[in-house]
Amino acid sequence: MKKKILASILAAGMVASLAACGGGAASSGGDSAAASSAAEATSEAAAEDAAADDAAAEDAGSEDSETDIMYTKADIEAAGDGLGDWEADYDMPTAGDEAFTWGYIDMGFKDTFTTKIRNTFKYYCELNFPNVKINEGDGEMDPNRQLQLAENFITQGVDAIILDPTDADGCLGIVELCQEAKMPLVLVNAIVHTDAMNNGIGFVGSDNYYAGQLEAEWIIANVDDSETVNMCYQRGQEGYDHTELRQKGVFETLDKAGFNYDLKAVLISDYMRDKAMNNAEDWTNSFGEDIKVIPCCNDESAMGTLQAYQAAGLADGVDILGIDANQDALQEVKKGNLACTVFQNGLAQAKWAAASAYDACVNGTVETKGVDVPFELVDATNIDDYL
C-alpha cells in the first residue's frame, strides 16, 4: 500500500551536565540494597503479568493472520527486510555483537493497541536486534506506576528505556529522571509535554490531530448535511494528549468546512469497549434514531458503540467511525457495520522505536531520534488492502 511521506527524524543535544540519579542511590549501602530488591521484585511481577500475554502472542504469531495483540510474524519479518516508501529518509542501524538490556514500560497490559505494539516490538527485536534483552513493565494506566518502573529499570542498569506514556503531563517526571540519569529514552505511541521531546528525546508515533481530521474528512465526503446532522462523540481518557488532539481534529475540521451538525453529547469512554457501550446505550435511550454520526476516539470505543446500537436495533441508521484499524474493527468495516477506521501503524512504531533505542546504544549517546508515522483512512474503498 502506498503511504504519504510525512516522516522526519528530529534529534538534538540534551543537557549533559546533570548528575546520575543512580549514583545517589549507590551512596548508601542500605538504600542501594533496598532499591535493588525493589527492582528485582518489580521485574518478577512484570514478568508474571506478561506471561499470559506472551503466550497469547506466541499463539497469535503462529497463525498467518493478524490479531489485536500482535501483527503477523510474516509482516514483522518483512518489516526487517527493507524500508517502505515513507521510510526512505531513515537510516536503520545494523545489529552488532555488543549486548544491551532495555526496559520497556507499557501504558498498560490491558490496553489492546499498546499490547500489540509491545508484542510486535519484542518479536522485531528478536529478529533484528538479537543481542538486546527486553525487560517489560506494566504501567497499569498509572503515571506513578510508570515512574516507579523507570526508577527500577535505572537501578537495574538498563541501557535504554522505551516508554508508552500514560499521561502527557503526569509522565514528565520520567523524562526528568532519565535526563538526570543520562539514560536514553524513546517515547512510543504517545507524547509527554516537554521541550525535550524531539530535542534529545525521540517520539516515535503518529499525529493524533490528523487521525481526527481523517474521521472528519470521511464525514464531510459521505454524510449529507443539507439538514442538520445530529452527532455524539466518544472521548478518550482524560490526561492523554491524543484524547484532546483527536477530538479537536474531528470538530475543528468539520467547523472549518462549514459542516452542518449538532453535537448532542460527548461522553468519556476511557478508550474502553464496555464504557463506550454504556455511553451508547444512554444515547439510544435518550435520542433513539436521531443520532446519525458517532466519531469515536478509538476502535474499542467504536466497537462498543456498534454493539449498543445493534442491540437497540438502530445500527443501520448511524455511521460509526473508529481509530486504530484493529482486526475486529476492520472486519466490521468490511461488513459495512462501521463507516471507517483510521489505520495507526503500530508495526512501524514498534520497528522505529527499536531502531531509535538501538542507534543511541551503539553510538553511546543519550539522544534518541523521533519518527512521525502517518495515519491512513480505511473504509469500504480500500478495506481489502488492510485485511
> Whole-prediction pTM value?
0.74
Sign of the dihedral defined by the CA atoms of residues 144, 149, 150, 155, in that order: positive
Average pLDDT over residues 130-134: 97
81-85, 209-213, 295-299, 300-304: which range is least confident on average? 81-85
> Each residue of 181-192: pLDDT tens digit?
999 999 999 999
Q: Between these two residues, 113 and 55, which has the higher pLDDT value?
A: 113
Among the ranges given (76-85, 108-117, 238-247), the one the predictor scored with the smallest mean pLDDT: 76-85
- Report the top-level CATH class of 21-206+346-373: alpha beta
For CATH 3.40.50.2300, the residue range(s) in the chain are 21-206+346-373, 208-343
Lowest mean pLDDT among 31-40, 267-276, 308-317, 340-349: 31-40
In the three-class reduction of DSSP (H, G, I as helix; E, B as strand; rest coil), residue 103 is classed as strand
Angle between helices 143-156 and 29-62 (to 10 degrees): 110
How far is 345 from 18, CA to CA, in rounded Å?
36
Query: What pLDDT digit, counting tens, does each position of 301-332 carry?
Result: 999 999 999 999 999 999 999 999 989 999 99
Nearest CA among 80, 95, 82 for reference residue 358? 95
Neighbours of 256 (CB within 10 A): 11
Give the amino acid at 353: A
DSSP readout, 174-203?
HHHHHHHHT--EEEESS--S-TTBTTTBEE
CATH dotted code for 208-343:
3.40.50.2300
Give me 185's grid cell: 529514552
325, three cell numbers: 484499524
The length of the chain is: 387
283 sits in which H/E element: helix 273-287
Q: Which of 44-53, 242-251, 263-272 has the lowest mean pLDDT?
A: 44-53
pLDDT at 91: 79
Q: pLDDT at residue 24 above 70?
A: no
What is the chain's mean pLDDT, rounded? 85
pLDDT at residue number 216: 98
Average pLDDT over residues 14-27: 31
Closest by CA to 314, choosing from 335, 334, 294, is 294
* Rounded percentage of the chain residues whose pLDDT exceeds 70: 83
Based on its alpha-carbon atoms, the radius of gyration of the chain, rounded to whole angstroms, reads 21
Buried b (16+ CB within 10 A) or exposed e, 27-47: eeeeeeeebbeebeebbeebe
> In the predicted model, is pLDDT for residue 201 greater than 50?
yes
